[in-house]
Amino acid sequence: MNTKFLFFSGKGGVGKTTMSCATAIHYANEGKKTLIITTDPASNLADVFEQTIGHKITPIKTIWNLSAMELDPDKATAEYKERTLSPLRGLIPEESFAVLEEQLNSPCTAEMASFDRFTDFVQDGQFDIVIFDTAPTGHTLRLLELPVEWSGVIEKAANDSSGGQTCIGPAAALAASKAKFDRAITVMRDPRITTFLFVLRPESTPIYEAERSISELNKLDIHSLEIIVNGVYPAEACDNPFMTARFMKQQEFLKAINQKFSVPARIVELGSEEIKGVERLASIAVKLFDNPTELIDYQYKNLEVKESSATHGYVLPNENIKKLLTPLNEKKRVIFFAGKGGVGKTSISAATALWVAQAGYKTLLLTTDPASHLKQIFDQEVTDKPTLVNGEKNLWFTHIDAKKAVEEYKEKILSEARTKYDKDRVTAIEEELNSPCTEEMATFEKFIEFVARKDFEVIVFDTAPTGHTLRLLELPVDWNRQLEIKTFTTTGETDVDKITKSKFKEVIDLLQDPDQTTFSFVMYPEATPIEEASRAIKELLTISVPTSLIAANLILSETIVTNEYLRQRKAMQEKYLAVMAKRFTAPIVTLPLLKEDLMGKDRLREAGYLLYGKLN
């Protein structure tokens, strides 16, 4: 990691923030002026450093040379609009200025603004080291692809004979952005300046996601890569049959990582206490830099796995929980699972959907997460159309295919335009639809389409990590006020507008009705997931969406706590379970740490039973 810019990426919950903060402390202690910036809309930097940070470069109080910043999409949008508009005030006619100002009120300006601010730091000159703690992988790839896409869009619009318009304003006003994006692309591709570090845990899904993401980065001509394998169990902590089985599974995955990836890789063992505060982060920095364990040199351990008759030692949930998962008064039920990346949303969503389907309800499991692993869980291909799960009669699953959604969205807009406008106007609209922000609009419209479906009794949503989920759920309220289609057509209300508004109203009413919608947060009992969920629950209340259920995952059962390491982790969990009971008014269900990952219907059935009790 001998470069100026360091990007930490990986599946949610694998420890990106911990590793990036530890790395920042290391370089700051070396005397290098260091900045760590998060691009995750559900940032945890303030929680980790235990101080207020926010949308400004803020010195970390206890570490000389280290500053941090949490990029706030709303504030970035306001700054971007002001930078774009201020040079034009008084220089262009008021009517033209008003049109440009209206264009910049488009929801897709937020995406443009966030990565415009991001690229500021990719070429920063005031720091020796700049570290990016990024959002979970799917959204990070989107962020890295956008400078390439927008640079092309602006260049094409600038050379276009129809006036050089993009969906957020004239290309001339964006020329400086294009130059900045081009410089950012060059920097990210230069291995002498930039390194991408993938953090993963020794589990099948993070390995699969890292493979896919590295392939996507290679397509962007980015090749300077390293891996940190986090959360490896220490052998001395695995002195009972249950933990030994989990340890040996991890050893298999470590061998697979060694074989699959031809890039430098280091191992960090899972500690007995949570990593929070500067002192504990510094201890991780020692493991990463002063005394690293290289995967290529790792001595694999072969512990003897013994059979165990131990039970979970677990109390099943209250029967009243079932009311939150099934339809009432002949209405359908929509269940959302949200939370910090990596807490187990997809697994618990799948277990819940299977439990409900086997209770006799026609159920659809849908993921809005671009990094979901439903395919691996069910060992069956997931498409953008509801597909019956093999061997089931009431369970279908699907995902939102962003690229296909974009094509369908474009065709819908253009079909209407062709009936109303001349060829030149249709061509102009088509070019505007080629902007990168069309993807968000198309994905959102697909989401609306699924929420409004009436052919399923229960729909279970496996959502993206918290910040992106909040964005998705707030959009019906935002876009009901101003339809994005106005950006392209600038005409009066059309029939399509009226239909879309009607859909928005229907979805808003459904989301706000606890008899139809169960909004659930998944977390493991540690400070960071609890704080993130608390903030999100408050934000959802601003759009009148209550939280109905909390799922606490990976709980250590008393029957497997057989050594001091496990006792310390159990004590930590008990402390935070008590915090959750005080903090949240929604009922809490818990899922114990299981011997194996939730892959396959047999394990999902077991999880459903432990979460919700016996089927009727």
Q: What is the pLDDT of residues 480-505, one digit of tens each?
A: 444 444 444 444 555 555 555 566 67
Domains of the chain: residue spans and CATH: 5-72+127-151+172-297 (3.40.50.300), 319-401+454-612 (3.40.50.300)
pLDDT bin (cut points 50, 70, 90) of residue 121 is: confident
Q: In Å, how far from its chain's centre is CA 372?
A: 10
Beta bridge partners of 519: 336
What residues contact 151, with CB distance under 8 A and at least 6 apart? 178, 181, 182, 185
Measure the CA–CA gap between 406 and 410, rounded to whole angstroms: 6
Give me the count of residues in the chain: 616
Q: Give the per-residue pLDDT at 68.
A: 94
pLDDT tens per residue across span 90-99? 776 676 666 6
CB 357 within 8 A of CB 395: yes
pLDDT, position 471? 58
What is the rounded distance in angstroms from the CA atom of residue 19 to the CA atom of residue 4?
16
**223 vs 74: CA distance, rounded Å:** 32
| CB proximity list for 507: less than 8 A, separation 6 or greater | 448, 451, 452, 476
pLDDT digits (tens, 9 = 90+) for 2-22: 789 998 988 777 888 899 999
Predicted local confidence at residue 104, as pLDDT: 62
Tell me the sheet residues that pair with 194. 5
C-alpha distance from residue 174 to each of 75, 102, 183 (Å) = 19, 16, 15
The answer to whether residue 437 scores a pLDDT higher than 90 is: no
Closest CA to 213 of 163, 263, 286: 263
Question: CA Rg, the chain, in Å?
Answer: 25
Local structure of 474: helix, strand or coil: helix
Q: Residue 167 — pLDDT band, cuts 50, 70, 90?
A: very low
Neighbours of 163 (CB within 10 A): 10
261 phi and psi angles, rounded to 5 deg: -115, 130
93-97, 114-118, 259-263: which has the highest mean pLDDT?
259-263
Residue 296 neighbours by CB under 8 Å, 6+ apart: 258, 265
pTM of the entire predicted model = 0.76
Distance linking the first and last C-alpha atoms of the chain: 56
From residue 525, alpha-carbon distances to 262, 272, 344, 554, 607 in Å are: 35, 14, 12, 8, 18
Max avg pLDDT among 110-114, 119-123, 421-425 = 421-425
Query: With 90 as the cut, is the pLDDT of residue 449 above it?
Result: no
Q: Are 232 and 254 spatial neighbours (Cβ–Cβ below 8 Å)?
A: yes
Is pLDDT at 601 greater than 50 in this prediction?
Answer: yes
Phi first, then psi, for residue 38 (nearest 5°) are: -105, 140
Residue of 546, 135, 519, 535 whose CA lies nearest to 342: 135
Residue 461: φ, ψ to 5°: -100, 120
Closest CA to 167 of 115, 104, 119, 118: 104
Among positive and negative, which fits the CA dihedral 596, 226, 230, 534? negative
193 pLDDT above the threshold of 70: yes
Asked which of 28-37, 298-307, 385-394, 586-595 is least confident by mean pLDDT, the reply is 298-307
> Beta-carbon neighbour count of residue 449 at 10 Å?
14
CB 506 within 8 A of CB 559: no
Burial class of 250 by CB neighbour count within 10 A (0 to 12, 13 to 18, 19+): buried
Q: Which is higher by pLDDT, 167 or 181?
A: 181
Where does 233-362 show beta strands of DSSP type E? 265-269, 293-294, 333-338
Higher pLDDT, 509 or 129: 129
Rounded Cα distance, 111 and 337, in Å: 24
- Per DSSP bridges, beta strands 363-367 and 395-399 are parallel
Mean pLDDT of the chain: 80
Residue 233 reports pLDDT greater than 90: yes
Q: DSSP secondary-structure letter at 254?
A: H
Give residue for tokens 């009705």: 513
Structure tokens belonging to residue 587: 């009922």
Percentage, residues of the chain above pLDDT 90: 33
